[in-house]
Structure formats: C-alpha cells, structure tokens
Amino acid sequence: MSSCSRVALVTGANRGIGLAIARELCRQFSGDVVLTARDVARGQAAVQQLQAEGLSPRFHQLDIDDLQSIRALRDFLRKEYGGLNVLVNNAAVAFKSDDPMPFDIKAEMTLKTNFFATRNMCNELLPIMKPHGRVVNISSLQCLRAFENCSEDLQERFHSETLTEGDLVDLMKKFVEDTKNEVHEREGWPNSPYGVSKLGVTVLSRILARRLDEKRKADRVLVNACCPGPVKTDMDGKDSIRTMEEGAETPVYLALLPPDATEPQGQLVHDKVVQNW
C-alpha cells in the first residue's frame, strides 16, 4: 500500500484543464494525486511534466468508456488506499461544429463518454468514497443553454426533484434515439449533443447528492458539477478567454471543500458561485 492514505483522482488528466486540475491538487491536496489517461504514453508524459515542476503525481491508465478499466482502477484504489477521497470526473469528448460526422453519431458518441461513462465512474467509485469525500463532475455553461433550448416539458422533467437516476438515463437514451430517427427537434431537444450530455451530468450530480444525503448523511460526501468557463484548451479553442489555471480554480475549490462543509451539494457551480437554473 501507499505510505499515504489519502488520494485524489483526476480523469482525462494528461492535458488541458484535467492536467491543470491535477497540477493544482498536487500543490494543495494533502495526499497522493493520481493522474489518469486513456493513453499510457501521454499519461506518463504528463506525469514527467509535473515531476519536472517539482510535483509528485502517480499515474494509472483509465479509459472511462471501458467498464473493466474503471473497475481495475477501483480495485487499485481500494488496495492501495482503502478507498478514495476526491474524484474529479473531467474526461470528455467534444466535436467541432464543422465536423462532418453525422449528427446522430456525434450524439451517440458524445453521450456515451460524457454522460454514460461518467455515470459508470460515479456508480463504481462512490461506494468506495471515504467520509468527507468530494466528487466534482466537470460540466459546462453549455448545459444551461441546452436546458433553455429544451421544450417546457423536458425542462420540467430535468428540474423535477423526484427525477430518478433511471429516469435520467431514459431521457439521455431517448435523446440519442430521437437523433437517430431525426425527430429530436420535434421532440423538444436542442441541437447540441455536448450541451445535452453536460445537462445530464449536472442533473446526475444533483440526484447522486440527494441519494448520499439520504443514505450516508453522516459521511458528508459532497457531489457537485461545475463550469470551468471558456478555457484555452484543445476542446474550447485557442481564442477562449481563460487560462487553464483559471479554469481549474472552481473544480479545485470544490475538490478541497473542508471536512465540515455541508454545501454546496448537488449544485452547478461557476466561478465558485452556485448557479440557479
């Protein structure tokens, strides 16, 4: 086992905002930081980059689209640390607006990674979250635009306090199916697979937080979604206004909420402020 019992984990951390979050956690988190990436060579290169800066992350391969990969990571964390203290679900995909791939394929691939794989991460790792654990799901302000462009019926369903995880999964599946049948607009959906995927992540965070409050309230495990803002990464483009370090501020703030914190819980946070939507 590691000599340190505390551990924070960041997915998709070999570049961009994931790397910036891992860097800042290495500086501020009192424990080990595990940087994960799908590609081993790129992940190890990122570790070497941080080591050259005087930091000491660990590396573990992770493909969030592969349930067996998630479970191998879970078993590693359980064996090495007896669980997990901080989980930052950052790994995601986004297609450029001019990508020629058919819309329904983009929808299927985007939802597969950004929503369904993130949900798998939560479902596999929440059971090993230690008391006072923190889960940070990286969302986007595009989820708010997607919500505003949903029909009133869909808005009511996404806002409902009685919406279950199963209900949410059905909605995300319906969006993908409606794009395949070319009826998604008629069914009240926006034209943004990325926005819908991040809306799903935001609502999932609320549902998981509510469940934790019901079943593990004394443990004070907090789950939140956050919007880093438009950041200069490969995903958002070089013309975005924020540096990666600025984009990492809110995710790191949520990851390091003090042990006695009870809020924010199940919220969408931007610039360290809870967003009402």
Number of domains forming the structure of the chain: 1
Q: Is 223 within a domain?
A: yes
In tens digits, the chain (277 residues) has pLDDT values of 565 699 999 999 999 999 999 999 999 999 999 999 999 999 999 999 999 999 999 999 999 999 999 999 999 999 999 999 999 999 999 998 889 999 999 999 999 999 999 999 999 999 999 999 999 999 999 999 999 999 999 999 999 999 999 999 999 999 999 999 999 999 999 999 999 999 999 999 999 999 999 999 999 999 999 999 776 545 555 555 778 899 999 999 999 999 999 999 999 999 999 999 8
User: Given 3-state DSSP classes, what are the helix, strand and coil percentages for the chain, each rounded to the nearest 5?
Assistant: 50, 15, 35
Q: Is 201 within a domain?
A: yes
Which residues are paired to 84 by β-bridges? 129
- In order, the DSSP letters of 73-93 are HHHHHHHHHSSEEEEEE----
Q: Residue 260: which domain range? A: 7-96+118-141+196-274
Give whole-number Cα distances, 150 to 9, 181, 190, 270, in Å. Answer: 33, 18, 6, 21
Q: Is 77 within a domain?
A: yes
Residue with tokens 């049948």: 181
3-state class (DSSP) for residue 41: helix
- Predicted pLDDT of residue 2: 60
Q: Is 166 within a domain?
A: no
Cα-only R_g, the chain: 18
* Active-site residue list: 194
Calculate the dihedral angle through the C-alpha atoms of 85, 126, 91, 7, rounding to the nearest 10 degrees. 20
Q: Is 40 within a domain?
A: yes
- Predicted pLDDT of residue 242: 79
Q: Is 179 within a domain?
A: no
Domain at 262, CATH number: 3.40.50.720
User: In this structure, what are the phi and psi dihedrals at residue 101, rounded to the nearest 5 degrees?
Assistant: -60, 140
Q: Is 163 within a domain?
A: no
Give whole-number Cα distances, 64 to 11, 29, 125, 137, 151, in Å. Answer: 8, 23, 12, 13, 31
In angstroms, the CA 203 to CA 156 distance is 12
Q: Is 155 within a domain?
A: no
